[in-house]
Amino acid sequence: MFQLGAEFGFWPVFFEVLISAWLGLKLLKLLGFQVVQQLQQKVALGQNPEGELLVALVSLIGGILLILPGVISDLLGLVCVLPFTRSFVAKLFKKSLISKIQRGQVRVFPGFSSGFRTRPDQTESPQVIDVSSERITSHHDEK
């Protein structure tokens, strides 16, 4: 930033930092609402929102990078928030994450959606007790 300030002057660099931070905040707000709506639609239709979650994560990272001062963070942030590049970045992120999981560099633990397991190594399905109700009257109630 100091080298840019020396090359282009203080005010152009100052305004670049302010504009990129403002843009990052606006994009976070706008994309946040859009992502929430898309997630709600997918869940309402009973579909897996995996793709939307990855795109949302990439957009969030991009907005944060735009808020941070610096030309490189701004360029990376733009790549993450522009519609025609963020899907590509999300796919790269997914591919990298899957590769790290397969190599054992990232561990994934089952959550609530994978059943009621008490230990990660427990593979049995939980016992289900089916209960139906019926009204029972005592002889005392009949009198």
Q: Which of 49, 123, 47, 58 is nearest to 97 (CA)?
A: 58
Q: What angle do helix axes 71-81 and 83-103 make, rounded to 10 degrees?
A: 90
Helix (H, G, I), strand (E, B) or coil at 50: helix
What pTM value is reported for the model?
0.62
Paired tokens of 98: 């899957």
Give the C-alpha separation, 121 to 124, whole Å: 9
CA gap 69, 130 in Å, rounded: 59
Digits of tens for pLDDT over the chain (143 positions)? 566 656 667 788 788 888 888 988 888 888 777 877 888 888 888 888 777 888 888 988 998 998 988 889 999 999 998 888 988 998 998 899 889 888 888 777 765 454 444 445 545 555 555 566 666 676 665 55
Query: Tokens for 119?
Result: 């230990």
